[in-house]
Structure 1
Amino acid sequence: MRTNLRDMLADARTLIECESPSTDLAAVARSAEVVARVGTARLGVEPERIVLDGRTHLRWRLGRGPSRVLLVGHHDTVWPLGSLAEHPCTVEDRVLRGPGCFDMKAGLVMALHAAAGLEGVTLLVTGDEELGSPTSRELIEQEARGAVAALVLEASADGGALKTERKGASLYEVRVVGRAAHAGLEPERGVNATVELAHQVLAVSAFADQRVGTTVTATTARAGTTTNTVPADGVFSVDVRARTVAEQERVDEAMRNLRPAVPGARVVVSGGPNRPPLEAAASDRLFALTRRIAADLGLPEPTRAAVGGASDGNFTAGVGTPTLDGLGAVGGGAHAATEHVLVEEIPGRTALLRAVVEQLLADAPHPLATRAAARP
């Protein structure tokens, strides 16, 4: 495959200049049409448009036979409408800039160009990843179950590293219930929800385990209504990140066993695991395959990284599909004014993606197959 960098940059500009904040359904729908138009021009076939609760996702099935390889990306971004006015799409000094260029519209362009002319590939482009994929999760998992591998076009880690581990994410809300009373006249008649909330924040924070990389972070909090009233209720949110399913389950059990510390108070916990972890075992063989192919192509040896952020790769790995993430653009500044893509890295990364997909599509020998016959 020979990539035309000029065409890829033109396609990236087209996608970037159609703003697509996840929370704006109309903007996401407009973006989906732009992605569909660009993708149809490169792939020669229209995608399916899948609208779930008002959010627009796209699916290309390439070829008439069964699909074996799943390419995953998203076209929604965190940037609000109007961001282009302050952060226009530019290419200067071999650097591409613009809202969502790194996360992850350049990666989408790479997927479209790499998949052109192939058969047996499904390209799924979702429109709600930045929100945690509330409507597309089932769709992603369904597609992953039928694939021998999932390749995720999220942006690379620092220095172009592939993402071979992602922490799983759990989200909770802890509500504390007390009893109101006048803070000056008879505070002893109340049950102070703020005090209970403080106890619970400390208890939750103790569930973290730095040795294995598990973080448990109390984030937003609220309690009480007026300054002269013993607070009757309060609530705080908790963000949990864990590298393994076992750790995610340990924290979940601990969260559900929280008990009040203040006599008369009640504690109600809601929420739970949002994304399973992408564990190293899910990526090991794909990463080894990618390194071999990079060497064959004369490309720099890929490196690997474990990251705390989650992606749709967590879902594909969670259903047991071998998954390699971070195959998209090289650059930095995701979600920030410094967001950028290194133009010179695009052709080589796209060629590597194409070659990996081609090897995965080869009938025999299966590149990920275990050698059962060699076992004693």
Structure 2
Amino acid sequence: MTAAAASAGSASAGPTGAGSAPAEPATESAPAASTSPIVAGPDAAVLAHELRAGAAAVRDELVALLLALARVDAPSGGEPDALRHAEAQLVAELLDLGAEVTRHATGAGAVLEATLGPAAGEPVLVLCHYDTVWPAGTAAARPPRERDGRVHGPGTYDMRGGIVAALGAARLLGPQLRRPLRFLFTPDEETGSAASRELIVRFGSDAAAVLVTEPPLPGGALKTARKGWATYRLETAGRSAHAGIEPERGISAIEELVDALVAVRALADPAAGTTINVGVIEGGCLPNVVPDHAAATLDVRARTAAEQERVNRALAALAPVRAGASVTVTHQHGRPPMERTPQIAAAATRARELAVLLDVSLGEGPVGGTSDANFLAPLGVPVLDGLGPDGQGAHAEDEQVSIDSLVERTALIALLIAAL
């Protein structure tokens, strides 16, 4: 590990600002750090034994790096400057691995692309996000700490732990990779990945497999299906009037919104996994004024692309009930469903077979939340999601990662990279 594993002070090093060219090398590739690389031999069981022992030997370094990354805030939300120090930490670690690093500037922060191994062949893509839900100042207010076999602190579980396991896996394998290894670190996953989506799809489409180091299901199971997600803004417009003197001249936008929301509620189908949450409502100005504007923000979740499209069409077709009123629906953000495709099922089966060699029982299951894996599953890409270490408290103040699981996942990710 680099000095970043011992101190967050290394964050001052790194790439140029967000105003740079869309894709630029961060610097020339640094020579690989001195290490004893584990060569992937023909016997997967022998390799698994070596990787498990290698991960155990660097336990303290993994913990130190996780603490260092968690000491630096990386708030999501389209503020590139707020992510600059976290970006610099990652660049330092990647260069120390001997990776060639390219910085793709976006309005939400830099997407970092790093490549290792041979130039020819289909790459394994490791997909991570380095943004967190926590605002600037959180790390200082709640400093990360190691206690009772766990690392506690903001962003440790979602998903600094997964980043550390992935970097640790690459270090265990050293320069002996039989196919290219590409990392992609995105800055805006927590807010929908609008700025990163094009790069995720570009690099994921030609990958032999994609490893996503999001937190697993409780107990460490893979996430082999995710609901799709979409947010919509539903706006209604009417005509204002005095509510006491001439209410008949008014057209209530709020009443129009209420009627529209009754129709929206009818679109939900919980038995099919389709849910609709009205998360925000706004409108009107004073009690004695017939309101001429109102709006609501909707969160739609669906297990299948067909269900997501059904709701999308129905929302687009909403029409006003009152003469003179209008209803407008705008799709704001979203990700398609990650259905359990044959490619995902085959990759999960192979992962379970390899995990057994590490004495790990690897389960799988669906989840309602989304990740950047949602963009790739519909393309027929083999995706393994939920490879980060086990823990708890995603987006909560008790966020924490199991150190035993961190070590275990480091070995597992390395074995997957070597054997897929």
Residue aligning to 2:353? 292
TM-superposed CA distance for 1:67, in Å, is 4.0
Tell me if the contact between 2:223 and 2:364 (Cα under 8 Å) persists in the aligned partners. Answer: yes
Could you tell me how far apart the structure 2 residues matched to 1:115 and 1:92 are?
A: 27
The alignment covers a number of residue pairs equal to: 358
Residue type matched to 2:61 in 1?
Answer: D
Could you tell me how far apart the structure 1 residues matched to 2:402 and 2:312 are?
A: 40
- Consecutive unaligned residues of structure 2, counting only runs of 5 or more, are 1-50
Written as runs of structure 1 = structure 2, the 5 A alignment for 1:1-376 is 1=51, 2-3=54-55, 4-23=58-77, 24-41=79-96, 43-53=97-107, 55-63=109-117, 64-116=119-171, 117=174, 118=177, 119-271=179-331, 274-281=334-341, 282-299=343-360, 301-360=361-420
Tell me if the contact between 2:72 and 2:139 (Cα under 8 Å) persists in the aligned partners. Answer: no
Query: What percentage of aligned pairs have identical amino acids?
Result: 40
Residue type matched to 1:268 in 2?
Answer: T
Could you tell me how far apart the structure 1 residues matched to 2:337 and 2:160 are?
A: 24
Residue aligning to 1:373? none
Q: Deviations over 1:329-358 (max 9, x none)?
A: 200101111100011111212211111121
CA spacing shift, 1:175–1:142, aligned 2, 3 Å: same
TM-score, reference length from structure 2: 0.83
Residue aligning to 2:16? none
Q: Deviations over 1:291-334 (max 9, x none)?
A: 111112222x1111211111101012132212111000200101
Could you tell me how far apart the structure 1 residues matched to 2:358 and 2:189 are?
A: 32
Q: Secondary structure at the match of 2:242?
A: coil
Could you tell me how far apart the structure 2 residues matched to 1:209 and 1:255 are?
A: 14
When structure 1 is superposed on structure 2, of 308-317 and 110-119 the one drifting more is 110-119
Residue type matched to 1:252 in 2?
Answer: N
- Consecutive unaligned residues of structure 1, counting only runs of 5 or more, are 361-376
Could you tell me how far apart the structure 2 residues matched to 1:145 and 1:97 are?
A: 35
Tell me if the contact between 2:100 and 2:115 (Cα under 8 Å) persists in the aligned partners. Answer: no
RMSD, aligned CA: 1.4
Q: Deviations over 1:212-231 (max 9, x none)?
A: 11111111111112221100
Could you tell me how far apart the structure 1 residues matched to 2:65 and 2:316 are?
A: 48
Could you tell me how far apart the structure 2 residues matched to 1:346 and 1:159 are?
A: 13
Tell me if the contact between 1:61 and 1:67 (Cα under 8 Å) persists in the aligned partners. Answer: no
TM-superposed CA distance for 1:54, in Å, is 5.2
Residue aligning to 1:368? none
TM-superposed CA distance for 1:18, in Å, is 1.1
TM-score, reference length from structure 1: 0.92
Q: Secondary structure at the match of 1:163?
A: strand
Residue type matched to 1:270 in 2?
Answer: T
Could you tell me how far apart the structure 1 residues matched to 2:105 and 2:258 are?
A: 43
Residue aligning to 2:27? none
